[in-house]
Structure formats: C-alpha cells, structure tokens
Amino acid sequence: MAHLKALALPVLVSMLIFMSTNVEAREFVVGGKENSWQVPSSPSQLNQWAQSNRFKVGDVLIFKYEKNADSVLEATEEDYASCNTTKPLKEYKDGDTKLKLERSGPYYFISGAEGRCQKGQKLEVVVMSEKHSRGGASAPTEAPAPEPRAGNSAAGLHGGVWIVLAGLGSWIVGLLMA
C-alpha cells in the first residue's frame, strides 16, 4: 500500500499537466450560433464575438449561411477595411464553410454579397501564436476570453476519456488520503 501511495502523487501531477496542456483543435460556429454569417444587428457584433474567444492554430471556423445568397471571402487587411470584394485571397460559396486556421496572426473575412460588408458582415480573427496556445509565455494584450460557449463544439478529447481521467484522479486522491 505504501508503494501505491508513493506512485500516486507523480501520476496525479502527470495527469494534471496532461489535462492542462492538451491543445486539441476546437470548432467555432462563427457568431456563436447557426446562420450568424449575415448582416449583424450592430456593425461590430461579429468582431465582438471573435474577441470573446481565443483561437489557436488548428482550430476550425464554421460559417453557416444561405448557399445561393451569400459567400465568405478571405481578404487582405486593406480589402477588409474597404470592403473590396473584387480580389479575395479565397472564396467559399457552399453555405457550410469550414476553415482551418493554419497559422498564427490575423485573418480577415468579408461577405461576398453586395453591400453586406459595409453593413458590418465582416470578421477579423486573431490566432494566437504557438507559444501562447500551449500556455507558455505572456498572454495576448487582449483581456482573457472564455472558452467556446454553447453552439461552439470543442473538438478536444472525447467525454469518455475525461471521465476515465477524472475517475483515475479520484482514485489517486483516495489513496493519498488513506
């Protein structure tokens, strides 16, 4: 029994480190709910949503919109600012666009439908650098943001694995207390 107690603490610490450093990709429905890729009620609404989340390399943005009425254009910073839809970096028209964030830094998206960008249907997403996404150095200059809310599914470890880890942690704590 003493041997088990001696092993319990290092195993518990290892589990906590593993759980806190897990950086699996997450999926974010743009705007926080279905069909949010549309003209917002206030011009800054989509960017306020983006600023309330922390995006990491590997995360996925999901744009849900009416296929034949709109599109998503990835734009340069200049085209984003001026709502220029004539030369997008990439264009998506499928109504259920899933974009993997493959690098750190800013991404700019605007609506391809005429006049919608000017009414606020545009989005700037800032992806944290690798050192920030692993809980490393200093935090970004923005205020800390909550994890994804309802409507944004986290694609991390499956629930069953978390249950097993929690059970194992409880068992180890029980050993330490005995």
In a shared domain, residues 149 and 163: no
pTM for this predicted structure: 0.64
Number of domains in the chain: 2
Tens digit of each residue's pLDDT (9 = 90 or more) over 113-131: 999 999 999 999 999 987 6
In a shared domain, residues 91 and 164: no
In a shared domain, residues 94 and 163: no
In a shared domain, residues 41 and 72: yes
Say how many Å lie between the first and final Cα of the chain, rounded. Answer: 10
Residues 6 or more apart whose CB falls under 8 angstroms from that of 48 comprise none
Residue-wise pLDDT tens for the chain (178 aa)?
A: 666 556 555 554 455 444 444 557 899 999 998 889 999 999 999 999 999 999 999 999 999 999 999 999 999 999 999 999 999 999 999 999 999 999 999 999 999 999 999 999 999 999 998 765 444 443 333 333 444 444 444 444 444 444 544 555 665 656 666 6
DSSP designation for 98: E
In a shared domain, residues 73 and 54: yes
Domain residues for the domain of 174 are 1-22+157-178
Length of the chain: 178
In a shared domain, residues 43 and 80: yes
In a shared domain, residues 127 and 166: no
CATH number at residue 102: 2.60.40.420
CA distance 63 to 53: 16
C-alpha distances (whole Å) from 130 to each of 12, 26, 68, 155 are: 26, 15, 37, 18
